[in-house]
Structure 1
Amino acid sequence: MPTIIVINNCTEQMLGQRLNQRQASFAAKAALRNVWLARPGDIVVSTATMPEDFMSYVTRVSSFAAEAGDIAFFRPESDGALSFILQDEYLARPQLIEALRARVTRPEEWSLLACYQTAGTARLQFELGLAKAGGEALGRNFAASMGTNLLNRKSHFRQLAIGCSLPLPDGAIATSANSLLRAVTELLSVTGRVIVKQDNGAGGTGNFILSTSPTGPLPGACACVALPCLRRSDIESELGKLWDEWQAGSPGPMVVEAYHAATAMFYLEFFIAPEGQAHFMNSGTIRVRPHDDPTISELFWVGLELPAHLPPATLAEASMHCSRFLQLAATMGYRGHINIDAIVTENGRLLFNEVNARWGGGTVLHDLGTRLIGPDFTNTHVAASFRDVPSPSFGRLIKLLQESQIAYDPAQQQGIVVLACDDEHSHSFEALVLARSRDGARGLEQRLVEVLESKRAAEG
């Protein structure tokens, strides 16, 4: 069945705030990486330009047969400085709808796959005559009423997770500066640190860690704030200022939780099918490290590693808890990809952080690993991504991989695939390593770093 793939990642609806240029640049790169989800005969709707050399590379690595047909690209008319973010209003433009109707002549044979299911994607399904009955229609109607937001907001997750008996950190939902003060002062005694989460966000955006002593960057947050520890009135004054600042950027409830140091940060991804059955897709460990620039107050997100590096009993326990939440999400009417994040604390406790009812960072990694190696590739291989690596340009990068014999080799079923390369904005790339072990994946990563450093040194 051909698919219309809507690459609407990092929209303002998804993040709950106006995007800054850094977030918009990230979205542009994410649009490139998500095109790997497309197959011959599919349609991709994106405001980002897909370079011809990159698409030729996708076709070659994926071994698409020439007779299978092309991937069609539709770029909606957009406007504004951040026009490459695919907002709902662009999906409603008559020119786009008419162009898609001309291509989708038998709508019963098509499906639609969006990163984030919104009222706009539901409207597009309606206009094209898609998802007209059964569980597909239920999912479309749920999205049309902005039901997806219920599963992506931090406060709603805490409410729903408590109802499903998921293990959570001690916490509360703050709706005013006074309730923030009460929650923070009560929770600081648990671990010495508190995390405050804005209702909408992705990748740690909108999460802040508070403590009574200075601390370096910590996982899961974009900033760490040291609170005055002498008098309650000083803490009250500081939290009042922070509340006003946070509300100005993204108004609404905020989740306040005891912050736990983690020995493992991971996610589980599922797909809720039209009939309401949740299918396990993949698990992954989240990789972070300090930034090379000491002035940056957040940890650098290196990438993901599939499968998650966890004891089997922990993975089984996490899956058992997730099943209850997935059943609730399906009963509510959600259909599609859903990722649930969790940690293992230093004393071995399993705690859940949030849910993302959308594609996750590992969706493309899972899809590509399945395509290149097979549906059970994580039984024999590790798929590790690493991002924001300085690039010599896409063409030169591909040549270096080939000359160094570290490009993905289908005969050996291992090597490096370039997921995205941004030659216009950040001049960096994201890559996927497929190897037969974690040590093998790290070795390929290190080899690529050495090749790039040698090239830069030679060019001097």
Structure 2
Amino acid sequence: MATLHIGNVKTEEMSGDPGLLTRDQLVLAGCAAERALWFARDGDVVVLPAAPGEAFVEHVTRTTGVRAASLRIVVPPAGRAGAPVLTADRLADERLHAELRAALDGRAPDRVQAYYPDAAVVALAGALGAAHAVPGHAFLAQGGAAAANSKALFRAVAAGIGIPVAPGETAAGPAAAAAAVARHFAAGHPVILKRELQSAGEGNEIVSPHAGVAPLGAERVTVLDAAAVRAHLEERWPWLTDGGRGRLVVERYLPGVRPVYAEYLVTGAGVEHTGEGELLMAPVLDGVVVPVPDLAPDARAELLRLTRRLCEAYRAIGYRGTMSVDGLVTPGGDVLLNETNSRLSGATHLHDVIARAAGPGRTLLDRGGWAVPSFAAAARRLAATGRAFDPSTRTGTLLTCDFTRLDGTVGYCVVAAGIDAVRHEEAEVRGLFAPAARS
């Protein structure tokens, strides 16, 4: 029973032309793709854009109890965007297919799990005689991944089944978008503009008729008077719509809300809740806390009720796989839903692997940006100081992602009994290396 894991972060469909991304964005995506190793079990095959570091593989497999030697890690020839990400042409390469057949000993995989399960993934599985091993393959082969991840379709589905969302609409052109923004500006409200397909706030922009708006979910706020809105949108339209391929979501920006999410596994048998958490924004995604700390029971119940109902709607049209639904909790305690992420999320490994190891009564805080001399040095320092995750106490810190080739940092997950203990331990871990220790 072998699973084929595909770390295709930043696909063309999800993030647009990779040629328009910066080198750092591409390398970051390649590092994030290595999270696929958290899901691997003995005998599995993992397709990654580049070979992961030995220290990272050893750390992950020691945590999961997988025999590292049993894993087959396959890296396809570089594609049109080079080596950092798995573009569709790399998945279609016959040399990759041949190497996968060899790694699988000529057998078809029993299951295919991709970060972003699109038509290119279904085609690769089909070349291995295993299209059926991709959950929801018939839906995905017809472009279903783009539909299931579309912020525009989300608003339509949510409105159709009575799910509360932020006031707004979807615009197909600059004129319609400008009219929508003008209506919000006339009432004194700032607006968040959202690309149809993107993630982690990277495709969002906030515009406001007045200063003093703190950004949350977008890098910056642009202050515009009513007369400048149309010109601004026409200038930004190619970026906001991925060169005109997508639609633009125009929503009232709601200051003071808490970004949260709930995650599910959608199968033919039903919808299974796998976890929920809070999205930390500074001003775009800066970490995840699992579960949401200090969330009122009524708000949590409403978050789970609404997100499950939305997942059932997507299940009815054929989507299968992991589905993470983002929401907002207002200062008054109301819950609004925000978007769907019908793919593996940046928190799926937390729910499916780490939270299970941690068990009940534990809080997880996952972040990036810890500057270290090397991944191996960070792992050694955690162990030497007694701060590495200990299964017997179900507390400590795990290294969840290796970003050292990008900027000399690692991703980490602190596990402790409650949010206060987690934040205290995070401060201790971040102080383990003085700035002078970096090389």
Secondary structure of residue in 2 paired with 1:347: coil
Matched letter for residue 118 of structure 1 = D
Instruction: Report the Cα distance in structure 1 between the residues aligned to 2:60 and 2:203, rounded to whole angstroms.
Output: 34
Distance 1:131 1:277, change over 3 A: farther
Equivalent residue for 2:90? Answer: 90
| 2:287 equivalent among 286, 295, 303 | 303
- Is 1:4 the equivalent of 2:1? no
| 1:382 equivalent among 363, 366, 387 | 363
Distance 1:16 1:86, change over 3 A: same
Instruction: Report the Cα distance in structure 2 between the residues aligned to 1:182 and 1:2, rounded to whole angstroms.
Output: 53
- Is 1:281 the equivalent of 2:262? no
Secondary structure of residue in 1 paired with 2:431: helix
Which has the higher mean CA deviation after the structures are superposed, 214-223 or 361-370? 214-223
Secondary structure of residue in 2 paired with 1:101: helix
Instruction: Report the Cα distance in structure 2 between the residues aligned to 1:56 and 1:414, rounded to whole angstroms.
Output: 20
Contact map agreement 1:393 1:421 (CA 8 A) in 2: no
Aligned 1:73-112 pairs, distance under 5 A: 73-80=73-80, 82-105=82-105, 107=107, 110-112=110-112
Aligned 1:431-446 pairs, distance under 5 A: 431-446=412-427
Equivalent residue for 1:295? Answer: none
Shift of 1:121: 0.8
Matched letter for residue 243 of structure 1 = W
Secondary structure of residue in 2 paired with 1:425: helix
Distance 1:410 1:209, change over 3 A: same
Matched letter for residue 318 of structure 1 = L
Secondary structure of residue in 2 paired with 1:200: coil
Equivalent residue for 1:296? Answer: none
| 2:266 equivalent among 272, 279, 296 | 272
Aligned 1:154-303 pairs, distance under 5 A: 154-190=151-187, 192-215=189-212, 217-228=214-225, 232-243=226-237, 246-247=240-241, 249=243, 251-273=245-267, 275-289=268-282, 299=283, 301-303=285-287
Shift of 1:247: 4.5
Instruction: Report the Cα distance in structure 2 between the residues aligned to 1:122 and 1:245, rounded to whole angstroms.
Output: 29
Matched letter for residue 47 of structure 2 = V
Contact map agreement 1:269 1:337 (CA 8 A) in 2: yes
Secondary structure of residue in 2 paired with 1:201: coil
Show structure 2 runs of 5+ residues with no match. Answer: none
| 1:329 equivalent among 283, 302, 314 | 314
Contact map agreement 1:190 1:258 (CA 8 A) in 2: no
Show structure 1 runs of 5+ residues with no match. Answer: 290-298
Equivalent residue for 1:46? Answer: 48
- After TM superposition, the score normalised by the length of structure 2 is 0.92
Secondary structure of residue in 2 paired with 1:341: strand
Aligned 1:302-451 pairs, distance under 5 A: 302-309=286-293, 310-373=295-358, 377=359, 379-451=360-432
Shift of 1:411: 2.0
Contact map agreement 1:31 1:48 (CA 8 A) in 2: no
How many residue pairs align between the two structures? Answer: 436
Instruction: Report the Cα distance in structure 1 between the residues aligned to 2:259 and 2:367, rounded to whole angstroms.
Output: 16
Matched letter for residue 290 of structure 2 = L
Contact map agreement 2:117 2:145 (CA 8 A) in 1: yes
Instruction: Report the Cα distance in structure 2 between the residues aligned to 1:5 and 1:175, rounded to whole angstroms.
Output: 36
Matched letter for residue 286 of structure 2 = V
Contact map agreement 1:107 1:130 (CA 8 A) in 2: no
Matched letter for residue 140 of structure 1 = H
Shift of 1:389: 2.1
Distance 1:79 1:129, change over 3 A: closer
Instruction: Report the Cα distance in structure 2 between the residues aligned to 1:352 and 1:165, rounded to whole angstroms.
Output: 11
Question: For each residue in 1:316-355, what CA deviation from the matched residue of structure 2 results, as whole angstroms up to 9, or x when unmatched?
Answer: 1122222332122112111101110000122332111110
- After TM superposition, the score normalised by the length of structure 1 is 0.88
Q: RMSD between aligned alpha carbons?
A: 2.3
Shift of 1:307: 1.0
Aligned 1:23-62 pairs, distance under 5 A: 23-62=25-64
Contact map agreement 1:418 1:429 (CA 8 A) in 2: yes
Instruction: Report the Cα distance in structure 2 between the residues aligned to 1:459 and 1:117, rounded to whole angstroms.
Output: 38
Contact map agreement 1:173 1:254 (CA 8 A) in 2: yes
Equivalent residue for 2:119? Answer: 119
Distance 1:432 1:179, change over 3 A: same
Instruction: Report the Cα distance in structure 2 between the residues aligned to 1:247 and 1:436, rounded to whole angstroms.
Output: 43
Secondary structure of residue in 2 paired with 1:10: coil
Matched letter for residue 271 of structure 1 = L
Matched letter for residue 363 of structure 2 = V
Contact map agreement 1:276 1:331 (CA 8 A) in 2: no
Matched letter for residue 83 of structure 2 = S
Shift of 1:362: 0.9
Contact map agreement 1:188 1:258 (CA 8 A) in 2: no
Instruction: Report the Cα distance in structure 2 between the residues aligned to 1:148 and 1:247, rounded to whole angstroms.
Output: 17
